[in-house]
């Protein structure tokens, strides 16, 4: 836990510096050198480490802010994670095949919004209809009962 305490004590200046270094490294990697993530090596390793550090720093900073809607989003993050592929892929199919929209910007924005919103709505409906069991692990007693019935 000492590492967590150190993370929690990171100042805003250090967070800004790490995020800025990550942004500069991204720019150099992609724009200056024209590389992509298929090119592995020391530079991509350093870039990945700074990306991880920047993500952790931003997470620590936002946790301090106590943003209510972000906290609520975090509480349903597992449901979003488990359902976002269906929602996002379905959106991509509808946009491309049914509506003939081929703009990557529209696909990215609409796909992201639907990929987050649809699982939240689905979870709320599951809560309302008492279907919480969909996201719970099977209980050992229920598994034994099922095995005995077979």
What is the reported pLDDT for 4?
72
What is the reported pLDDT for 108?
96
State the pTM of this model: 0.66
Whether residue 76 contacts residue 120, with contact meaning beta carbons closer than 8 Å, is answered with: yes
Helices (H), the chain: 2-8, 12-27, 42-65, 68-75, 77-93, 104-128, 140-149
Q: Mind listing the pLDDT tens digit of every residue in the chain (150 residues)?
A: 677 778 778 889 999 999 999 999 999 999 999 988 888 889 999 999 999 999 999 988 888 888 999 989 999 999 999 999 999 999 999 999 999 999 999 999 999 999 999 999 999 999 999 887 877 777 776 656 666 665
What is the reported pLDDT for 8?
79
Residue 21 neighbours by CB distance under 10 Å: 14
Whether residue 82 contacts residue 126, with contact meaning beta carbons closer than 8 Å, is answered with: no
Spell out the domain ranges in the chain.
Answer: 2-65, 71-135
What is the reported pLDDT for 146?
62
What is the reported pLDDT for 7?
78
What is the reported pLDDT for 142?
60
Residue 22 neighbours by CB distance under 10 Å: 21
Give me the torsion for CA of 47, 51, 52, 58, rounded to 10°: 160
CA 1 to chain centre: 24
């Amino acid at each position: 836990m000492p590492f967590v305490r150190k993370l929690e004590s990171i100042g805003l200046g250090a967070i800004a510096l790490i995020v800025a270094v990550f942004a500069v490294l991204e720019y150099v990697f992609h724009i200056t050198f024209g590389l992509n993530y298929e090119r592995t090596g020391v530079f991509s390793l350093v870039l990945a480490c700074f990306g991880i550090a920047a993500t952790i720093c931003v997470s620590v900073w936002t946790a301090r802010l106590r943003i209510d809607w972000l906290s609520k989003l975090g509480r349903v993050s597992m449901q979003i994670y488990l359902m976002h592929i269906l929602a996002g892929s379905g959106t991509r199919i509808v946009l491309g095949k049914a509506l003939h929209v081929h703009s990557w910007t529209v696909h990215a924005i609409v796909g992201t919004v639907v990929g987050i919103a649809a699982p939240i709505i689905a979870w709320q409906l599951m809560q309302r209809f008492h279907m919480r069991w969909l996201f719970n692990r099977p209980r050992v007693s229920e598994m034994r009962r099922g095995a005995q019935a077979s």
